[in-house]
Amino acid sequence: MANTKVNLCGITLDNPIIPASGTFGFGYEFAELYDINVLGTFSFKGTTLEPRFGNPTPRIAECASGMLNAVGLQNPGVDKVISEELPKLRRVFNKPVMANVSGFSIHEYVETVRRLDGEGDIGWFEVNISCPNVHGGGMSFGTSPEMAEQVTRAVRKVTDKPIIIKLSPNVTDIVSIAKACEAGGADGVSLINTLLGMRIDIKRRRPIIANKTGGFSGPAIKPVAVRMIYQVYEAVKIPIVGMGGARSAEDVIELMLAGATAVEIGAENLVNPYACRDIIEALPSVMEKYGINNLSEIIGGAH
Amino acid sequence: MKDSVFKILSNEKIAKNTYECILEGDISDVKAPGQFVNIKLDGFYLRRPISVCDAEDGKLTIIYKVVGEGTEAMAKAAVGDEWLTLTGLGNGYDTSPSGDYPLLIGGGAGVPPMYMLCKKLIFEGKHPTVILGFNTKDEVFYKEKFTNLGAKVIVATADGSVGVKGFVTNVMPSCEYTYFYTCGPEPMLKAVYEVSVTSGQLSFEERMGCGFGACMGCSCKTKYGNKRICRDGPVLTKEEIIW
């Protein structure tokens, strides 16, 4: 009997499959399609201190084997997430959930985490220091080791729950940033966020996306993710949540062999709303095919 | 919302760059006119959101205009080909406030959802008038289909090559109506909004990621808060729109 359980920062997941933030809302849209309690957990929509409408539309552009998005952290703000979204989520999900938070100053990160910290169903914080689609915050914290460490330290002071820092691939050296997060007290890192990209409408001769640039995700970015997970795994002791283009049980195994303890599924949820359920159902037979009894034993197995 | 395989029964050009495709499959989740489906095509990452023209007896009719690589691939699809299709997307039109004499205004690729709506209104015993707007004669489609339903039909073309010369909004003042329904390019929607003398419902278009409310790719601001065109729309009421 294939054992798909993994341990992420002290909490056991039934399987390593985690829908990525921004592709799964607060869960209840997908709960209309299948019982989302089959998931390991999921990372809810990126939450900021204040409500945000996000960027103007168009926010989406298609690419070969992927897509660009520039949503810009649209969310109702932390207080409404607590008063409106989490109660709705509780009706359909009974496992610890991953709270994805973002900010435009250290104060905003800290205050958002502090307010969410009292919610018992939050198992982990995923601190996004890598959103490429907002200006004057987000990714700027994730492109320097010093800033990444400062954010981590500041958030560390206001919660005892595991903190996972979500890293940007749009840097010269992701390893140094992962190490800075570890030094700052992070319990884990998740990578990779989207790659900064652009598409141009050749009829209009203008960028397709109103924000001009957007984050590139989908199957095309998987090799970049595998490479970065592999490099970070060699440099840090804390667990890695891997993501980037995964859309099958085989992809999940590949990211885990690179060093991921758990795997987030992003863009694929938008194309196949049943993607995570399908991967979870396929895992045992694919494990058997590759001679894997315990999934947790293959973490970092390619090193 | 349901994801299932649809088989192409026919896929014919009916006007300039415009194709009518009839598909066979599970239409049980198509609940209202004005809803859309999201079609997975081989070789393309994102699905193609296309409005429902008709859904009856296990058959789904869509009409699409070739505007890019995706719709070009759709036009090349053969009878018997299969598309994985999400159905039952979007809110659709609400016929309850229509009154006895609703006015339906479709522009170009916005004409198709008017067909199922017109059919439903006539079934409910109402007397719709339909204005169909196109740029030119070669683009006109479905005029007879609407007439055969029993609706009063007025065609307007921008160049006057057939019907009334001008825009749908040139025709509107001569119509008496209790309510309006419209779908078409955004500048037309705005013009209809401004010329209209009753309340009404307008169907919007936006580039979408998922089509079912997960990605926030197609959000807009309304007087009643932020809405997702794909999930809370594509139909918005006149009263809630912020231009």
Instruction: Please indicate whether, in this complex, the C-beta atoms of A71 and B215 are within 8 angstroms of each other.
Output: yes
A270 at the B interface (CB within 8 A)? yes
Q: Are residues B189 and B106 in the same domain?
A: yes
Domain of residue B185, CATH code: 3.40.50.80
Name which of A25, A62, A208 is nearest B214 (Cβ-Cβ). Answer: A25
Distance between B216 CA and the closest CA of chain A, angstroms: 7
Distance between B147 CA and the closest CA of chain A, angstroms: 37
Q: Are residues B106 and B185 in the same domain?
A: yes
pLDDT of residue A133: 67
Distance CA A40, CA A56 (A): 33
B73 at the A interface (CB within 8 A)? no
Distance CA B220, CA B206 (A): 9
Residues of A labelled catalytic: 131
| Structural domain count of chain B | 3
Show residues of chain A in contact with B206, CB under 8 Å.
57-58
- The answer to the question of residue A181 being in a domain is yes
Domain of residue A83, CATH code: 3.20.20.70
Show residues of chain A in contact with B47, CB under 8 Å.
271
The ipTM, to two decimals, is 0.92
Q: How far is CA B10 from CA A95, A225, B75, B187, in A?
A: 47, 43, 11, 32
- The answer to the question of residue A272 being in a domain is yes
Kindly identify which residue of chain A lies nearest to residue B208, measuring between CA atoms: A60
CA A140 to chain CA centroid, Å, is: 17
Instruction: Please indicate whether, in this complex, the C-beta atoms of A67 and B209 are within 8 angstroms of each other.
Output: yes
β-pairing, A200-201 vs A206-207, is antiparallel
Domain of residue B57, CATH code: 2.40.30.10
Show residues of chain B in contact with A219, CB under 8 Å.
45
Both structure tokens of A65: 């084997």
pLDDT of residue A141: 84
Kindly identify which residue of chain A lies nearest to residue B46, measuring between CA atoms: A271
Q: Are residues B98 and B179 in the same domain?
A: yes
Q: Are residues B128 and B186 in the same domain?
A: yes
Q: Are residues B199 and B100 in the same domain?
A: yes
Distance between B96 CA and the closest CA of chain A, angstroms: 26
> What average pLDDT does range B40-59 have in this prediction?
97
Distance between B218 CA and the closest CA of chain A, angstroms: 7
- The answer to the question of residue A154 being in a domain is yes
Q: Are residues B174 and B218 in the same domain?
A: no
Which run of H or E residues covers position B22?
Answer: strand B18-24
Q: Are residues B99 and B192 in the same domain?
A: yes
- The answer to the question of residue A34 being in a domain is yes
pLDDT of residue A131: 74
Name which of B1, B46, B221 is nearest A271 (Cβ-Cβ). Answer: B46
Which run of H or E residues covers position B102?
Answer: strand B102-107
Q: Are residues B46 and B132 in the same domain?
A: no
* Among A26, A270, A274, the residue to mutate for chain B (most B Cβ within 10 A): A270
- The answer to the question of residue A66 being in a domain is no
pLDDT band at B5 (very low <50, low <70, confident <90, very high): very high
**The tokens 């992927």 sit on which residue?**
A66
Kindly identify which residue of chain B lies nearest to residue A57, measuring between CA atoms: B218
Q: Are B131 and B111 in contact (CB under 8 A)?
A: no
A64 at the B interface (CB within 8 A)? yes
pLDDT of residue A130: 84
- The answer to the question of residue A208 being in a domain is no
- Of A35, A40, A36, give the one whose Cα is nearest residue A5: A40
Domain boundary among B60, B89, B118: B89
**Owning domain of residue A164:** 6-54+72-196+217-298
Distance CA A16, CA A20 (A): 12
Asked if pLDDT for residue B128 goes beyond 90, the answer is yes
pLDDT of residue A1: 74
Distance CA B89, CA B209 (A): 13
Distance between A214 CA and the closest CA of chain B, angstroms: 12
Instruction: Please indicate whether, in this complex, the C-beta atoms of B209 and A270 are within 8 angstroms of each other.
Output: yes
Q: Are residues B130 and B165 in the same domain?
A: yes
pLDDT, tens only, B210-223:
999 999 999 999 99
Q: Are residues B243 and B191 in the same domain?
A: no
Q: Are B35 and B88 in contact (CB under 8 A)?
A: yes
List of residues 6+ apart from B227 with CB closer than 8 A: B219, B220, B221, B233, B236
Q: Are residues B105 and B152 in the same domain?
A: yes
**Owning domain of residue B137:** 93-203
DSSP state of B29: T
pLDDT of residue A135: 63
pLDDT of residue B181: 98
| Structural domain count of chain A | 1
Q: Are residues B191 and B115 in the same domain?
A: yes
Show residues of chain A in contact with B216, CB under 8 Å.
22, 25, 45, 54, 59, 71, 74
Per-residue pLDDT of chain A (303 residues; tens, 9 = 90+): 799 999 999 999 999 999 999 999 999 989 989 999 999 999 999 999 999 999 999 999 999 999 999 999 999 999 999 999 999 999 999 999 999 999 999 999 999 999 999 999 999 999 999 876 666 555 578 889 999 999 999 999 999 999 999 999 999 999 999 999 999 999 999 999 999 999 999 999 999 999 999 999 999 999 999 999 999 999 999 999 999 999 999 999 999 999 999 999 999 999 999 999 999 999 999 999 999 999 999 999 999
Q: Are A184 and A148 in contact (CB under 8 A)?
A: yes
Show residues of chain A in contact with B46, CB under 8 Å.
60, 62, 67, 270-271
